[in-house]
Amino acid sequence: MLKRLAQFARPYAPAYAGGFLLLLATNGLGLWIPWLLRDAVGALERHEELQVITKLAVMMVAVALGQAVVRTLSRRVILGASRRIVYDVRDRFFERLQTLGPSFYDTQRTGDIMSRGVNDTRLIQGFFGPGAMNLLNTSVVYVAVLILLLRIDMRLTLISVALYPILFFGVNRLSRKVYTRSRAVQEHLATISNRAQENISGIQQVKIYAQEQREIEAFRDLCAEYRSRNLSMAVVRGGMVALIGVVAGLGALIVLYVGGRFVIEGRISLGDFVAFNAYLAMLVWPTIALGWIVNTIQRGLGAMERIAEVLDHEADVADAPAGGAGDEDEIDHAPLRGDVEIRGLTFAYDSQDGGPDSEAPPRTVLKDVNLSIPHGSRVALVGPVGSGKSTLASLLARLYAVPPGQIFVDGEEINSIPLARLRRSIGFVPQEAFLFSRSLRENIAFGASEASAGEIADAVQTAHLAGDLESFPEGLDTLVGERGFTLSGGQRQRVTLARALLGGRSILVLDDSLSSVDADTEQAILSALQGGGRDRTIILITHRLSTLAGMDRIVVLDEGSIAEQGTHEELMQLDQVYAGLFTKYLLEQRLNG
């Protein structure tokens, strides 16, 4: 982890070098004051004139003021660099989150990711800021003070630091426990964050099932465990501070006794003894801060380890390299026409989709699927639940890693198409309609921010959302609640459909995305889509089979394979899988009346 931390700190090495020089100047001025005090005590012993003593006093005040200014500058430089480093860490972390595919988010808790991006980065800032500054400062103070103490009297110095090896040994042993318990605290904080996020997001379900008290008790138990882990860490930290305090106190008593005898014996002067104690006192705070520094470093290492788990997570969907300047670059940005060909597609979810420690075998979802969808076709994918329809739709948008040589768009192998170009050409509407806490206009234009008002109006009209705008207080500028909960399920689905229609996308994939609208509205939307000419390939996944009469072809998936395909009439005449599904659908409609 130190290597990873160094990578982030390397660009700011000049700032830390400048801060280190300022710390040297700060401590140089601070170390000068006891020496001036030594001279002042010596002047008093020699009964020198008041003018000499006054001059030394003025010099001490001037040095103290200079030290205050330089210390402020050193803190500003080092702490400022730490904030810029953490900015880079957060930026890299968020950028990495944008590149990871659904397989990562399928196994990660939202609260844990949020905790890493907020709490762990704060600990990293502590590592690079106060932690680094105090570590540098302590190192300088120890080296400089020991040199000055040795200059005053070597024997007294050796006696005063005799207990320090015991201190360092004890701190080293305790710091390991601090690291382990700090990591446990951070992981449990992530659990609390995830629980809070789930409760806030699912507050309607909590209230509907009257589970408020149970959730309160569960959250209270989590907080109690968090408190217990924090107290466990505090016990170790307290032991570290106590050890440091005992060693520092014993050292001071030994120096007072031995140094006093040295003054009486004339081995050192009173001024030397005063300066020696002043310098020794300067070691007290760095020694006490040593435990805090170790704890800060250990917590920063633990936090960086958790951040690195995300930064180092291998993206399962690798982007194809874009072309250079000229014609190749134009091809990389040219929209796809919309010819889709699937050749022997076999796909299994990796065992890690069940979790990082999952030992479950890969789940084969699609088996030897062969399908050709020419540009402008209207194709429906139907089949029982779990037959692989949604997986096939996700693979067309490369949300999961596609096996090489099995899906082609416009004759190009899909893995060789840059993701930006592919996804600019595909309007993918998933089963769950997701809206941002923004206006309707911003939600619709999310994937095409340059869309004109006329283009947005056309998309709204095609999605049959225009009539609903009259009931919204500010029309398209109406703000929707979190995840669009202020809208009905059907309205959310039509907003996401309008979003997919913008941008001139040549392939439109509807993954059961009209399930919350009534059958008549769905039929009207499909008719509007089909009436827009043959410039767009439409792939429809639906369980409402009554709307499929106008499709060019219906592909029936069963247990991951294509069982049959053809028009509605042709499949009914076959009287196999599709006919059974359609008969069951009609029976359910009659029973539901």
Q: What is the mean pLDDT of residues 145-169?
A: 82
Residues of the chain with pLDDT > 90, as a percent, come to 21
CATH superfamily for domain 2-311: ABC transporter type 1, transmembrane domain (1.20.1560.10)
> According to DSSP H, which parts of 398-535 are helical?
419-425, 440-444, 453-462, 466-469, 489-501, 519-530
What pLDDT, on the 0 to 100 scale, is given for residue 354? 41
Whether the predicted pLDDT of 331 surpasses 60: no
Q: What is the mean pLDDT of residues 140-165?
A: 84
Of the given ranges (63-72, 177-186, 423-432), which has the lowest mean pLDDT?
177-186
284-311 and 212-264 helices, crossing angle to 10°: 140
Position 326 confidence tier, pLDDT thresholds 50, 70, 90: very low
Q: What is the mean pLDDT of residues 510-528?
A: 85
Whether the predicted pLDDT of 168 surpasses 60: yes
What pLDDT, on the 0 to 100 scale, is given for residue 193? 81
Position 283 confidence tier, pLDDT thresholds 50, 70, 90: confident
Q: How far apart are CA 406 and CA 367, in angstroms?
A: 12
Angle formed at CA 514 by CA 513 and CA 520, multiple of 5 degrees = 165
Q: What is the mean pLDDT of residues 221-243?
A: 86
What pLDDT, on the 0 to 100 scale, is given for residue 333? 62
Q: What is the mean pLDDT of residues 4-21?
A: 90
**Cα–Cα distances in angstroms (integers) from residue 77 to residues 84, 85, 268, in the given order:** 11, 12, 41
Q: What is the mean pLDDT of residues 113-133?
A: 88
Q: How far apart are CA 230 and CA 126, in angstroms?
A: 18
Residues of the chain with pLDDT > 70, as a percent, come to 93
What pLDDT, on the 0 to 100 scale, is given for residue 321? 64
Q: What is the mean pLDDT of residues 532-540?
A: 80
Q: What is the mean pLDDT of residues 314-322?
A: 70
Whether the predicted pLDDT of 325 surpasses 90: no
Whether the predicted pLDDT of 373 surpasses 90: yes
What pLDDT, on the 0 to 100 scale, is given for residue 36? 84
**Under CATH, which architecture does the 334-351+364-591 domain have?**
3-Layer(aba) Sandwich (3.40)
What pLDDT, on the 0 to 100 scale, is given for residue 288? 66
- How does the average pLDDT of the chain come out, rounded? 84
Position 358 confidence tier, pLDDT thresholds 50, 70, 90: very low
What pLDDT, on the 0 to 100 scale, is given for residue 361? 61
Q: Is 266 exposed, middle or buried (0-12, 13-18, 19+ CB in 10 A)?
A: exposed
Q: How far apart are CA 237 and CA 60, in angstroms?
A: 37
If you average pLDDT over each of 118-122, 200-204, 482-486, 527-531, which comes out highest?
A: 118-122
What pLDDT, on the 0 to 100 scale, is given for residue 513? 85
Q: How far apart are CA 261 and CA 45, in angstroms?
A: 18
pLDDT in tens, 52-109: 888 888 988 999 999 899 999 999 999 999 999 999 999 999 989 888 888 788 778 8
| Total residues found in the chain within this entry | 593
DSSP-assigned letters across all residues of 35-98: HHHHHHHHHHHTT--HHHHHHHHHHHHHHHHHHHHHHHHHHHHHHHHHHHHHHHHHHHHHHHHH
pLDDT in tens, 563-590: 999 999 999 999 999 999 889 888 887 8
Helix (H, G, I), strand (E, B) or coil at 318: coil
What pLDDT, on the 0 to 100 scale, is given for residue 332? 55
Whether the predicted pLDDT of 165 surpasses 80: no
Whether the predicted pLDDT of 453 surpasses 70: yes
DSSP-assigned letters across all residues of 493-525: HHHHHHHHHTT--SEEEEESTTTTS-HHHHHHH
What pLDDT, on the 0 to 100 scale, is given for residue 53? 80
Position 327 confidence tier, pLDDT thresholds 50, 70, 90: very low
Q: Which residue has the higher pLDDT, 151 or 44?
A: 151
For the chain, what are the domain ranges?
Answer: 2-311, 334-351+364-591
Of the given ranges (355-359, 416-420, 569-573), which has the lowest mean pLDDT?
355-359
What pLDDT, on the 0 to 100 scale, is given for residue 28? 87
Q: What is the mean pLDDT of residues 512-533?
A: 81
